[in-house]
């Protein structure tokens, strides 16, 4: 039986990470963020960083304007194939990082998802919807009314033209 060492639950989150490896061969490894927790994060990278190596990182996600900066330690690495490409899956444990920034990032991503509330996190969107609902109804009614009047006018013109054509046909066929 395998015992789980992870203390915090992983939460899926997309983003880009620049891992600055300072070991025997200093370099910057560009990686794709797969998930995050309060304890660390997992990335996919084309380059390998050694297990136990201390790294600096700059984590960017579309949800948050500022980069999450910090230091950590590579805890595990394994080769994986995704999208017909060979990657290294790396788990980085947080070392020096502002935990409140990590919490802010997680809250932005997952917000009040599991908290009670009739409208959940969409209160602003619903308020705007109900604010503009009368306007939308009025526009639909107006456009429908306008189209109905236009259709009626077109039908009257067609009927008038049909009567005229019938009169000409009658005159030509029967004479006076």
Domain end (from 70, 86, 111) = 111
How far apart CA 75 and CA 7 sit, in angstroms, is 14
How far apart CA 34 and CA 43 sit, in angstroms, is 5
Q: What is the pLDDT of residue 171?
A: 66
Looking at the structure, do residues 15 and 78 belong to the same domain, yes or no? Answer: yes
DSSP state of 117: -
Q: What is the pLDDT of residue 114?
A: 47
Q: State yes or no: pLDDT of 75 exceeds 50.
A: yes
Residue ranges making up the domain that contains 61: 11-111
Q: What backbone torsions phi and psi does residue 175 show, to the nearest 5 degrees? A: 80, -155
Looking at the structure, do residues 103 and 29 belong to the same domain, yes or no? Answer: yes
Q: Which residue has the higher pLDDT, 120 or 39?
A: 39
Q: State yes or no: pLDDT of 132 exceeds 50.
A: yes
Residue-wise pLDDT tens digits, 154-170: 777 777 777 777 777 76
Looking at the structure, do residues 128 and 165 belong to the same domain, yes or no? Answer: yes
Looking at the structure, do residues 19 and 64 belong to the same domain, yes or no? Answer: yes
Spell out the residues 6+ positions from residue 6 whose beta carbon is closer than 8 angstroms to its own.
Answer: 37, 39
What SS3 class is residue 164? helix
Say what the pTM is.
0.56
Domain end (from 111, 130, 156) = 111
How far apart CA 57 and CA 49 sit, in angstroms, is 13
- The CATH number for 30's domain is 2.40.10.220
Reading the block at residue 99, the tokens are: 């935990």
Spell out the residues 6+ positions from residue 45 whose beta carbon is closer than 8 angstroms to its own.
Answer: 19, 29, 30, 31, 32, 87, 88, 90
Looking at the structure, do residues 106 and 124 belong to the same domain, yes or no? Answer: no
* pLDDT band with cut points at 50, 70 and 90 for residue 60: confident
């Amino acid at each position: 039986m395998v015992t789980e060492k992870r203390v915090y639950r992983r939460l899926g989150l997309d983003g880009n990470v620049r891992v600055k490896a300072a070991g025997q061969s200093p370099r910057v490894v560009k990686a794709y963020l797969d998930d995050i927790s309060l304890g660390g994060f997992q990335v996919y990278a084309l380059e390998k960083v050694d297990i136990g190596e201390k790294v600096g990182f700059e984590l960017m996600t579309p949800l948050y304007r500022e980069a999450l900066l910090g230091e950590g330690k590579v805890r595990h690495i394994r080769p994986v194939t995704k999208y017909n490409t060979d990657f290294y899956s790396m788990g980085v444990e947080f070392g020096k990082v502002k935990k409140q920034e990590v919490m802010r990032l997680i809250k932005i991503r997952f917000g009040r998802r599991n908290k009670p509330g009739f409208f959940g996190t969409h209160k602003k969107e619903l308020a705007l919807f109900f604010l503009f609902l009368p306007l939308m109804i009025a526009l639909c009614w107006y456009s429908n009314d306008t189209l109905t009047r236009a259709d009626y006018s077109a039908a009257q013109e067609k009927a008038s033209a049909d009567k005229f054509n019938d009169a000409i046909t009658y005159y030509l066929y029967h004479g006076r």
